[in-house]
């Protein structure tokens, strides 16, 4: 799953990749193996960031929850 693409429209590709990589590394989750539960964990970690980054992560998580059911 490419979480960065979900964040990129609001943050830009570079920033989205940066925050996803940092959160995944902090949680010790390899980016290549992100599954649904890990995606939620990564988005929760990013949502703790201040400002637009955190707000965007919260929005993306809500949207993915609705999409995945």
pTM of the model: 0.91
Contacts of 66 (CB under 8 A, 6+ apart): none
Considering only CA atoms, give the Rg of the chain: 11
Q: Specify the number of domains making up the chain.
A: 1
Q: What is the chain's mean pLDDT, rounded? A: 94
Structural domain span for residue 44: 3-68
* Nearest C-alpha neighbor of 49 from the set 38, 35, 61, 37: 61
Can you give the pLDDT at residue 31?
Answer: 72
For 27-47, write each residue's pLDDT tens digit: 999 877 789 999 999 999 999
Assess contact for 43 and 51: CB atoms under 8 A: no
pLDDT tier for residue 63 given thresholds of 50, 70 and 90:
very high
Is the per-residue pLDDT at 2 higher than 90? no
């Amino acid at each position: 799953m490419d979480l960065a693409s979900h964040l990129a429209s609001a943050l830009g590709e570079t920033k989205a990749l940066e925050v996803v990589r940092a959160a995944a590394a902090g949680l010790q989750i390899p980016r290549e193996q992100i599954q649904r539960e890990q995606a939620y964990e990564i988005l929760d970690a990013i949502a703790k960031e201040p400002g637009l980054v955190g707000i965007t992560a919260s929005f993306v998580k809500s949207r993915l929850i609705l999409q995945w059911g």
